[in-house]
A = this chain, B = another copy of it.
C-alpha cells in the first residue's frame, strides 16, 4: 500500500561514507523532488520549488536594478536557426530533442526544443535593432530548457531544467564586456549574500567555454566532497551571433555595424550547490535569507496544559509572521522529538520550542540549525533576538564555507602537489598554467581535474606551468567538477 514508506523512514547516509548517496537521500527525504517517468527529468515538489522561488526573487530584483527587463521567447527553434552558428550547433546538437510531427502531420521543418535561446533571440534582435538609439537591449527570460545529457542528477544536471537567460546587445565591445562582468558580479553578489556560498569569479579556458561565445566567465563554488561546481556563467559573444543573424545598426557615424552581444544564465543547479555546500549528516541547512521558512515553532504539548500551549504557539506564529517567514507544527500525531529531527532535516534555520514551563517563565527556547546551540530568550525580546540570530547564522554559514574552501585549496607547483590537492586532499589546486590545451588535457587525463577558471584576481608572479614547467600565462584553479 504505502508505496514510498521505505524512503521516508530510511536514515540519511553520512557524508563521510558516501557523499553522493547522502545528496540523494537528503533531497528525497526533505521532499524537494521526485523522479519523473521521463529519462533524466525531475518533478520539483513544493519544498523544492520554494527554493527556486527564493532564487527567482533574489535574482529578478538584481536584474531589474541593473536596468534589465523580462521578456519571453518561443520554446521552439527552427532547425535552420540552430544550424547558423557552427560551434553552437555542434555543441548542442546531440542533446537536442526534435519535434517532427504535430498530431499526425509531419512538419516541413523540424523544431528543436530550446537548449538555450541565442538563436531565436538573434532572429528577433535582427528585426528590432536598427539604430544606435535602440541600444543597449537588456533582456532576461525565465524559462525551461532541455538538454538530453547522458548522466543526470537532480538539480545538478537534468534533462529539462528551469533557468533564467539574459541576452543583451550593445553598441561597442567595451560596453558589452562591461555587461559580462557586471552580470558575473550580480551572480557573485546573489550567491554569496543570499545563499552564503563563497565563489571564485573567473574566465573559462577555450576548452570549457560556451559553444558560440568568445569568452565565458563563471563563478565556481566548492562542494563539501571537494568537487567544484559552476554556479553561473556570463558570456561575451562578440559579433558571432550578430553576423550569422545579421543584427546590424546604423551607428552615430552613419555606418552600419554589427552589435556586440552577451548572454548569462543561472539555473536550478544552484539549489544543488546550496545543498552540497551547507548540508550535514542531519540533512539540509538552509541560509536564512533564502530559506522559505526561517522559523519553525514546535509546541511541547502534553497533559492538561495542551490547549493553553497550543493557543500560545498559535499566537506566537501570528506575531512572528509579521517579521519572519514562520511556520507552526502543532500536529498531534508526532512527538516533539520526531518534529525536531524532521525540521532539522529540512534545514529550517531556527527552531522555537515552547512548553508550559516556558510560558510560565515568559520565555522560549531557540535552537540554531547550524550549530545546534540552545538559547533561552524572554518573549519580550524575541524579534530582536531572532533577527540577530538569523544574521549570525547567515554569516556563520558563509564563513564556514569560506574556510572550507580555503582549507581545501592548495598552491600546487607540480603534478605531484596538484594530485595531492585534488585527489588525496579532495579540493582545488591553484597552479600556474602555460595556456595550452595540451597541458590542460594532460592534467585532466592524469588526475580527473579540469581548469575551473582563470580567477579574475591574478598574482604578480604567475610561476611556471604545473604540467610542462614552461612560463605560466595565468594562475588557474584545477578541480574535479560536477
Q: Which residues of A contact B (CB under 8 A)?
A: 1-5, 34, 36-38, 41-46, 48-50, 52-53, 69-76, 78, 81, 93-104, 111, 113, 120, 123-124, 127-128, 130-131, 139, 143-144, 146, 148, 159-160, 162, 250
Nearest first, the 4 closest Cβ-Cβ pairs linking A and B are A46-B69, A44-B72, A94-B103, A41-B74
Known: A36-B120, A36-B124. 7 other contacts (CB 8 A): A38-B76, A43-B73, A46-B71, A49-B71, A50-B70, A74-B159, A97-B102
Q: Bound state CA distance, A42 and B162, in angstroms?
A: 20
A36, A74, A131, A162: which has the most chain B beta carbons within 10 Å? A74
> Once the chains bind, are A71 and B45 in contact (CB under 8 Å)?
yes
Of chain B, the residue at the smallest CB distance from A44 is B72
B34–A127 CB distance below 8 A: yes
CA distance A48 to B139 in the complex (A): 13
Asked if residues A113 and B99 are in contact (CB atoms below 8 Å), the reply is: yes
Q: Tell whether, in the assembled complex, residue A98 and residue B96 are in contact, meaning their CB atoms are under 8 Å apart.
A: no
Which B residues are in CB contact (< 8 Å) with A96?
A: 102-103
Given the known inter-chain contacts A94-B103, A148-B102, please indicate yes or no for A74 contacting B38, CB distance below 8 A: yes
Question: Do B53 and A111 touch (CB < 8 A)?
Answer: no
Beyond A4-B130, A160-B76, is A102–B98 a contact (Cβ under 8 Å)? yes
- Whether the pair A75, B37 counts as a contact (CB closer than 8 A) is no
Q: Which of B46, B50, B93, B103 touches A139 (beta carbons < 8 Å)? A: B46
Complex contacts, A99 vs chain B, CB 8 Å: 97-100, 113
How many angstroms from the CA of A45 to the CA of B121 in the assembled complex?
Answer: 11
Which partner residue on chain B sits nearest A137 by CB separation? B46
Contact flag A2-B160 (CB < 8 Å), given A49-B70, A98-B101: no
- Complex Cα distance, B451 from A177, in Å, reads 58
A128, B34: Cβ atoms under 8 Å? Answer: yes
Q: Which of B37, B46, B71, B75 contacts A146 (CB 8 A)?
A: B75
Interface of A is mostly: mixed
B250 touches A1 (CB 8 A): yes
Inter-chain contacts of A113 with B (CB < 8 A): 75, 99, 113
Q: Which of A46, A96, A146 has the most CB of B within 10 A?
A: A46
Query: Bound complex: CA of A76 vs CA of B113, how far in Å?
Result: 11
- Min distance, Cβ A143 to any Cβ of chain B, angstroms: 8
Q: How far, in whole Å, are A418 and B42 apart by their CA atoms in the complex?
A: 52
CB distance from A410 to the nearest CB of B (A): 40
8 A-B contact pairs sorted by A residue (CB < 8 Å): A1-B130, A36-B120, A41-B76, A44-B72, A75-B113, A94-B103, A97-B101, A99-B99
CA distance in complex: A43, B70 (Å): 11
Minimum CB–CB distance from A443 to chain B (whole Å) comes to: 29
Tell which of B45, B52, B81, B93 touches A103, judged by Cβ atoms closer than 8 Å: B93
Complex Cα distance, B50 from A71, in Å, reads 8
A48 neighbours in B (Cβ, 8 Å): 71
Cβ distance A137 to chain B, nearest Cβ, rounded Å:
10
Distance in angstroms between the alpha carbons of A99 and B102 in the assembled complex: 9
Which residues on the B side are within 8 Å of A94 (C-beta)? 103-104
Residues of the B chain whose Cβ atoms lie less than 8 Å from the Cβ of A111: 38, 97
Q: How far is the CA of A347 from the CA of B199 in the complex (A)?
A: 44
Q: Is the CB of B37 within 8 A of A49?
A: no
Residues in B with CB closer than 8 Å to A36 are: 73-74, 120, 124
Smallest beta-carbon distance A36→chain B, Å:
5
Complex Cα gap A111–B100 (Å):
11
Chain B residues within 8 Å of A3, by CB: 127, 130
Is B43 a contact partner of A124 (Cβ separation < 8 A)?
A: yes
B-side contacts of A70, CB under 8 Å:
46, 49-50, 53
Residue of B nearest to A74 (CB): B41
**A75 with B144: CB separation less than 8 A:** yes
Contacts of A127 in B (CB 8 A): 3-4, 34
Query: Which residue from chain B places its CB closest to the CB of A108 in the assembled complex?
Result: B39
What is the CB-to-nearest-CB distance from A160 to chain B, in angstroms, rounded to a whole number? 6
Chain B residues closer than 8 Å to A1, beta-carbon distance: 130, 250
Q: Shortest CB–CB separation between residue A211 and chain B, in angstroms?
A: 15
Q: How far is the CA of A367 from the CA of B130 in the complex (A)?
A: 33
Contact A100 B101 (CB under 8 A): yes
Report chain B residues within 8 Å CB of A95.
102-103
| Minimal Cβ-Cβ distance residue in B for A36 | B74
